[in-house]
Amino acid sequence: MRPATVVFAAVLALLRQAAPAAPAVMPPDAGIDGLMQAYDGQVPGAAVLVLHDGQAVFRRGYGLAVVEDGTAVTAASNFRLASVSKQFTAAAVLLLVEEGRLGLDQPVRRWLPELPTAASSVTLRHLLSHTSGLPDYEDMMDPTDSRQVHDADVLALLAREDRLDFTPGTAYRYSNSGYALLALIVGRASGQDFATFLQQRIFGPLHMTHTVAHQDGVDTVTARAYGYSWLDGRWQRTDQSTTSAVLGDGGIYSSLDDLARWDAALYDDRLLSAASRQAMFSPATATTEPDVPHYGFGWRLNGRMQWHSGESIGFRNVILRYPDRHLTVIVLSNRNDPEPYPLALKIAQRWLDILQ
């Protein structure tokens, strides 16, 4: 062996010794497969990813992304994220705050003067933390109108009623209304529509090449997983509802592979500054929700765990992050039931038992 080769081998051996050992669990895994058994086979499925120290230590699809033609779920399948989308909306706002185009304590009516005077004291911080007091737009929709609502329609609905449910900043109530308005504010402050801003400022730079804030007739969702619900004794496609076109609160489609890139960006300055990440993951308000002592900006906070779920017609998703252990678990599913949060906790615990 030549001297240079000997030195290289020695250095490589030292690096291997110094590197933290990730749990050697790669598919198939009987324990996780057992947890995911209901999603496997000729049924609407799920995609599961476990990241440790930036590496995929478990990555697998179960069941079908498209039941009608038997297309299987893979790590590249794109699911509607539903409310997991909110963390991207929050990131878009924080990018504009970094540039001085927005301020967290600016009145929302500075950007959306269409809102009624009752909303005069509502700030962007209130919208991000679900403490605005704005009514839920879904409660204001005409149940006989089957047309899809867009973010601009949310603003129009809220503009009709000069009232709040509580004084801004005095209480917490989870608000899809707030995040729809944030998408509009991002558009007005940046001079771009919200979907374009996300593509140019977040998805593109992070090489999330197949992630999109989906707009019918404008873009195409590649490797799309369609949503299903168990109705009348069988799985039926229930992919869209009247609120599915609202982007700010839940309109993003993404895959395990792209979300791995997003997760990596939350550990360093490649997208958001340290100050912005701290703002995102710091408690902005206490909540009354189970397993959610606090809410940050687009994230639920429970001690060491940062997480968010996403539920819309035909989709149930969750992302759990344990940054102190560099551990992330993501479960995306294209069915209305069950809620995957308990499954994700069980999957995460397998690694936490090793890493603690």
User: At 6, is the secondary structure helix, strand, or coil?
Assistant: helix
Are 175 and 130 a contacting pair, CB within 8 Å?
yes
Residue type, 3: P
In which element (H, E) is residue 177 found?
helix 176-190
Q: What is the DSSP letter of 339?
A: -
| Sign, CA torsion 311/317/323/324 | positive
E strands along 153-246, which residues?
212-213, 228-231, 234-237
> Can you tell me the distance from the alpha carbon of 250 to that of 58, in angstroms, rounded to the nearest whole number?
26
Q: Taking phi first (over 0 means left), then psi (-120 to 50 degrees means alpha), and beta for anything else, what does residue 191 get?
A: left
**333 given a catalytic annotation:** no
Are 265 and 278 a contacting pair, CB within 8 Å?
no
CA–chain centroid gap for 39, Å, is 21
Chain position carrying tokens 């019918």: 216
Task: Name the catalytic one among 77, 83, 129, 312.
Answer: 83
Measure the N-to-C terminal CA separation of the chain; round to a whole number of Å: 41
The catalytic residues are 83
